[in-house]
Structure 1
Amino acid sequence: MKRIITLLFLGIFAFSTAQLPAATPAHGFGLLDAEELQFTYQKLISEFYKKVDAQAVLDGAHDNLIAYLQHEGVADPKVPSLHAVDDSSQNVRELDREVSNAVTAYHSARFTPRDLTYATIAGMLGSVKDRYTVFLTPKEFAALNEGLDGTTFSGTGIVIQSDETTKFITVSNVVPDGPADKAGIQQDDVLYTVDGKTTKGLTIDQASSLLRGKQGTTVTLQVQRDGALLANPISIVRAPIHQLSVYSKMLPNKIGYVALTVFGRDTGAELTTALDRLQTQGARAFVLDLRENGGGYLQAAVQVSSKFIPSGPIVSVESRQSQIDTIEADNDAIPPAPLVVLVNGHTASASEITSGAIQDSGVGTIMGTKTFGKGVVQNVWALPDGSAVKITTARYLTPRNRDINTVGIQPDVVTPENPKPRYGTLGRDDQLQKAVQFLQNKIAQLSSPAPGSQ
């Protein structure tokens, strides 16, 4: 199953030590543990998009703490039940006391006081029965950030694929202004050899290991272009490459193709660069591919949508207090052109904001299969030890006030997916083929003189 990425706002842990319980936690249960318990409790009670029952929160914390102790080998943990009162500070003190007592009673080499704090926090968040409201360990939070913002590695800036007919490694894309781009590598080039080694029969991982290497080192490529080997090999000096979230290329008949893998920190800027390049090459229509895109940052969704929607609302966000904030387009759209947005069942969250906005505004045609249906927004608060709490804080509505949560977006043109598609490759991607045919007809209609014109 594909990962559905949370539609995110990023929060900052802010805590006043004056709010801490008077008693100083002991026996390994430290000040930071107490802070994180109180912070999580207060954020869940005040920010979750539905009313929260304090007793349910305490029960969730208690039950998950017991479950964790049992999982770690404590046969019959004696942890008293907690009873909520109207005073939130008292409830937090009860949480502190429960974890502190558990640390004292069940000291073990198999787990740390922080592990018990994590189990209690996870139980609190799980009490609201919302799949997107969860605790993230430092490792999980780092993975979320890496998935949204990409990684940096030393390489050439070539995106590769294997040609199933010839078995050679080919260039599916080139990172703009990267080492390969500056050296003259082009989309659809065949990498015949890498440092004298043929690429025929290599896996993607094997070829990637040849192209990557220490920054400042040189790799030499023998390149085949348009069926013929180039007269001279191309040498590329490896440099830091930031993983892209936007990939683009020109399809036949000047149809620009742009695929987004995630709505990350740099996606808006990357899309601007890609569209500028395609427009310079004479693009007359566009395919925006959001298939398998599980979402990301809300602001990135607004930035992406604004490249195609010149003005007006993009999305409305409704909080628990029924306060509705409508976010308008950034007024930096490209000139109008025929547009198809490709979607499928793994198009979710921020991808659905963009799909819904484009559909409601009428600037493009949604094509593919029904989207996932994630219409809620999360805030993520990073905690001081590198962990984080992620809480659903609002739902969102499309410009026409549609709530797509659990419902999804129905395409304007339903197009089934072929078995084992290679997304973005004509001849291996039926949905893309239909999109191109649709746009070719649109281009022909725009090029035809109006009836009665001279």
Structure 2
Amino acid sequence: MEEEKPEQGHYIKIKRFPFIIMIFALVFITAAVTTLTLAFGDEKAVEVGAPARSEFNKLYEAYDKIQTKYYEEVDQESLVNGAINGMIESLGDPYSDYMNEEEASEFHEDVSSSFQGIGAEIQEKDGFIMVVSPIKGSPAEKAGLQPNDMILSVDGKSIQGMSASEAVLLIRGEKGTKVKLEVQKSGTEKTQEVTIVRDEIPIETVYAEMGGNGIAHVQVTSFSEHTAEELRTALAAMEKEGMKGLVLDLRQNPGGLLDQAIEMANMFVPEGKNIMQIQSGGETKAYQAEGGEKITVPTAVLIDKGSASASEILAAALSESAGIPLIGEKSFGKGTVQSAEDFSDQSNLKLTTAKWLTPNGTWIHEKGIKPDTAVALPDYASLTYINPESELKLESLSDEVKTAEQMLEALGYAPGKVDGYFDEETESAVEEFQEASELEANGVLTGASTTKLMENLRLKLEENDTQLKKAAQAVQAKIK
């Protein structure tokens, strides 16, 4: 039996679908034998093959009626796909999905290579497409997309009611092309248009740098096919640089392959202790750490509302079985396991097949993991995106103007009253900002000026990362 693996952003992937293929084969063989029997009158032959499934009679009748009585010609493949989609939708599970060949190809691409798009993990929830987390350094992150933002339309086309796989096909596209999203920011009822230029999204998942006092900062952005190997390489490099402590950063990490999370947890968790538990069909199986060399330097783990699935598995394992503190914000809360399996035509069925539990047996689904030390980022970290195509100038009045005023204020400029009205003080602040940025000082916020404003705010946030600073302090306190 093949090992189950989770796909990028919460899913578990199995590369073949032998059992389902066998069932379909038996059904088709049975149908053929039945047809021949009716033609030649041998009633005993009807018993050959798979037994009749009376529960499918209504489905067959509906299929036949549509094929024979619908006023237009109907594509047989579309009917079958629609029937499968209907069964999946009836489960009411946002993590189960049927994907046609094109959608399945995108699905497999996520964990095996780079892809072209905006770089955001999404899910369907209650008929809407929600952002789980943007990928580090991606166009989606730079555009300000955040966990739980709702995407309402893509290039003017409503995606309400679509599956996540269907929405992905519209959002992705060639590098350099633009996609316009209508976004409802988390916690608000207002919508805004966000234009994002697609780019190549590499599946490089581990970023490491040595900070002060010998404390390494290692960020894991997703769990792809080689993430555990990347982490091992990164830690070896940090050890050569004299690593005395470690901050493992799982913020904005939407998850990925389960085997990678287990392998990574095994680098920290003492032999014999639980890494996680899988609960399915009334049975619970514990995965325990194996022997081998362990990371023993003082460590802290960063999590936030964008840390989901495999990120939560790793965080919980290190917290409960290795005594490593969690710092930041409560995690996303995704505690189910999906098995993704291919049909012979390369379409794919992804089903929730199990729950995963923390080492101590806690199910964190829709609850998340609370950090040991709660630390918020500065208020300006949650400011929304300003469309560079907008032209904000004297006497403009809008929410984007208010956001721009907040950004200017956070960067040390004086835009006057932060009220969404672009007055003379706002114009003066914009001019001052433009001069400092070596841009044309015309007092109009658009294009390069808008992009530079948002870029400078991101850089300020990196310099004033309160969560990272707190984690480094916690590690420093344990260094002997």
User: Considering the TM-score relative to the shorter chain, is it more than 0.5?
Assistant: yes
List aligned pairs for 1:264-413, cutoff 5 A: 264-311=224-271, 312-320=273-281, 322-413=282-373
Change (3 A) 1:107 1:289: farther
Q: Partner amino acid for 1:23?
A: A
Gaps of 5+ in 2: 1-6, 34-49, 117-135, 140-174, 177-200, 383-457
Q: Which residue of 1 aligns with 2:217?
A: 257
Deviations 1:421-450 (A, max 9, x none): 84997414221122122222222xx1xxxx
Q: What's the TM-score, normalizing by structure 2?
A: 0.56
Alignment CA distance shift 1:127-1:161 (3 Å): closer
Superposed CA deviations along residues 229-258 of structure 1, whole A, max 9, x for unmatched, are xxxxxxxxxxxx963121211122221111
Question: Which residue of 95, 113, 116 corresponds with 1:132?
Answer: 95
Does the 8 Å CA contact 1:319/1:394 hold for their aligned counterparts? yes
Check conservation: 2:268, 2:322, Cα contact below 8 A.
no
Partner of 2:113: 150
Residues 99 and 428 of structure 1, relative CA distance in 2, 3 Å threshold: farther
Deviation at 1:285, TM superposition (A): 0.9
Shift of residue 97, structure 1, vs aligned partner = 4.8
Secondary structure of 2:477 counterpart? helix
Which position in structure 1 is the counterpart of 2:17? 13
1:95 alignment partner, one of 59, 67, 72: 59
Name the SS of the counterpart of 2:276 in structure 1.
strand
Give the stretch that moved more between structures: 406-415 or 306-315: 306-315
Question: Which residue identity lines up with residue 263 of structure 1 in the other structure?
Answer: F
**Residues 161 and 121 (structure 1 numbering): CA distance in 2 closer, same or farther, change over 3 Å?**
closer
- CA displacement at 1:381 relative to structure 2: 1.0
- The aligned residue for residue 180 of structure 2 is none
2-side partners of 1:395 and 1:121: how far apart?
A: 23
The answer to which structure has the higher helix fraction is: 2
Distance 1:385 1:296, change over 3 A: same
What are the ranges of 5 or more consecutive residues in structure 1 without an aligned counterpart? 26-41, 43-86, 154-158, 163-207, 210-240, 447-454
Kindly state the Cα deviation for residue 409 of structure 1 after the two structures are TM-superposed: 0.6
Within 5 Å, give how 1:189-208 maps onto structure 2: none
> 1-side partners of 2:92 and 2:54: how far apart?
24
Q: Do the aligned residues in 2 keep the contact of 1:259 with 1:289 (CA within 8 Å)?
A: yes
Q: Identify which range, 10-19 or 377-386, moves more after superposition.
A: 10-19
Change beyond 3 A, Cα 1:12–1:253: same
Q: Quick one: structure 1 residues 377 and 412, their matched pair in 2 at CA, closer, same or farther if it must change by over 3 Å?
A: same
With over 3 angstroms needed to count, the CA separation of the structure-2 counterparts of 1:138 and 1:313, relative to structure 1, is same
Q: Is the 8 A contact 1:426 1:432 kept in 2?
A: no
Q: What letter is aligned with 1:5?
A: G
Amino acid at match of 1:416: A
Q: How has the CA–CA distance of structure 1 residues 370 and 89 changed in structure 2, closer, same or farther, with 3 Å as cutoff?
A: same
* In structure 2, C-alpha distance between the alignment counterparts of 1:160 and 1:381, rounded to whole Å: 31
- With over 3 angstroms needed to count, the CA separation of the structure-2 counterparts of 1:245 and 1:112, relative to structure 1, is farther
Q: Residues 427 and 433 of structure 1 are in contact (CA less than 8 Å); yes or no, is this contact kept in structure 2?
A: no
Specify the SS of the correspondent of 1:442: coil
**Inter-CA distance 335–160: structure 2 relative to 1 (3 Å threshold):** closer
2:389 maps to none
Question: Which residue matches 2:374?
Answer: 414
Q: What is the TM-score of this pair, normalised by structure 1?
A: 0.59
Residue 405 and residue 152 in structure 1: after superposition, are their counterparts in 2 closer, same or farther (change >3 A)?
closer
Asked whether 1:431 is paired with 2:392, we answer: no
Matched, 1:22 2:34: no
Q: CA deviation at 1:106?
A: 3.8
Contact 2:246 2:299 in 1 (8 A): yes
User: Contact between 1:11 and 1:379, CA under 8 Å: does it hold in 2?
Assistant: no
Specify the code of the residue in structure 1 equivalent to 2:278.
V
AA of the residue aligned to 1:8: I
In the alignment, the residues of structure 1 paired with residue 52 and residue 248 of structure 2 have an alpha-carbon distance, to the nearest angstrom, of 48
The more displaced of 424-433 and 245-254 is: 424-433
Quickly say closer, same or farther: Cα 1:242–1:417, change in 2 above 3 A: closer
The separation in 2 between residues aligned to 1:142 and 1:405, in whole angstroms, is 28
> SS where residue 286 of structure 2 aligns?
strand
Task: Give matches, 1:100-111, under 5 Å.
Answer: 100-106=64-70
Amino acid at match of 2:215: I
- What is the CA distance between 1:24 and its match in structure 2? 5.1
State whether residues 424 and 432 of structure 1, in contact with CA within 8 Å, keep that contact through their aligned partners in structure 2. no
Deviation per residue, 1:118-160 (Å, 9 max, x gap): 111011111122221221233332222222333279xxxxx98
Partner residue in 2 for 1:442 = 478
